[in-house]
A = this chain, B = another copy of it.
């Protein structure tokens, strides 16, 4: 039996205010649920219809499993096509990123990304390319928004993600920051070091002026055709791919 209070709790988590208040967020779909069960995140409660629960494998004892009918399940799902499993996951503590965590790797930094689908796709793509740390400006859309979680296809479970005041933070680090701007140097002429920060900006406005000033390298994706702009998830992909290409070429070469 699904109580009214449970329906109200789960659906309230579509809003950031209630995610913060309850320190919980929602993950849907058995693949994503599995990824979170086997990650550093703590799943507290699992709602599933019978046949989908069977697909989830062994469920750790500390997770409360509640079997629902499809009719009940549809009341809590926020997906157009509910998939029959939904986990409540503890919101991680917003541990401060310390500058030495960036040592020896490429970190992605996002300034004011607003579209949940874009943020989700960026997290999924970065994680494909082995980028394990993503630092978002305080005004970037919340990564625990259900649309973001869904779009990451489980990758959110594996990246370290934080929200930070970038303007205050960037001057404290000693790793070069490569930012995507118009009229910078071609990305194909840049040699990315193995320790770097890639900074991508807002969908409409790019990187804000106060952060552009802090860039060591201003980088542009060359345009051959006449398209006015690239989507930010697409632009981020090109950075991730080029960093990876150079890294693999160094390793093999």
The distance in angstroms between the C-alpha atoms of A238 and B157, with both chains bound, is 24
Q: How many copies does the complex hold?
A: 2
Please indicate the chain B residues that have their CB under 8 angstroms from the CB of A230 in the complex.
124-125, 128
Q: Residues on A close to B: CB < 8 A?
A: 31, 121, 124-132, 153-155, 158, 186, 188, 221-231, 233-234, 237-238, 241-242, 244-245, 248-249
A160 to chain B: closest CB distance in Å? 12
Residue from B155, B231, B249 in contact with A188 in the complex, judged by beta carbons closer than 8 Å: B249
Structural contact, A225 and B128, CB atoms closer than 8 A: yes
Partner of A125, one of B121, B154, B234, B241: B234
Complex contact B244–A242 (CB within 8 A): no
Beyond A121-B231, A237-B238, whether A127 also contacts B226 by CB under 8 A is yes
Contacts of A248 in B (CB 8 A): 186, 188, 222
Pair A224/B128 contact, Cβ less than 8 Å: yes
Tell whether A228 pairs with B153 under 8 Å between CB atoms, given A234-B121, A234-B237. Answer: yes
Q: Which B residues are in CB contact (< 8 Å) with A223?
A: 128-129
- Given the contacts A121-B231, A121-B234, A130 and B224 also touching, CB distance less than 8 Å: yes
Within the assembled complex, what's the spacing in Å between the Cα atoms of A81 and B225?
28
Q: Which residues of chain B are near A233, meaning CB under 8 Å?
A: 234
Tell me whether A224 and B129 are in contact (CB under 8 A): yes
Chain B residues closer than 8 Å to A224, beta-carbon distance:
128-130, 244
* Docked-complex contact B241 and A130, CB < 8 angstroms: no
The chain B residue sitting closest to A241, CB to CB, is B238
Cross-chain contact A222 with B234 (CB below 8 angstroms): no
**In the complex with contacts A223-B128, A237-B238, A31-B228 CB distance below 8 A:** yes
Chain B residue with minimal CB distance to A129?
B224
Q: Which residues of B contact A244 (CB under 8 A)?
A: 188, 222, 224
12 sample A-B contacts, Cβ–Cβ < 8 Å, listed by A number: A31-B228, A124-B231, A125-B227, A128-B224, A128-B227, A129-B224, A153-B227, A153-B229, A154-B227, A155-B227, A237-B241, A238-B241
* Residues from chain B with Cβ under 8 Å of A242 in the complex: 241, 245
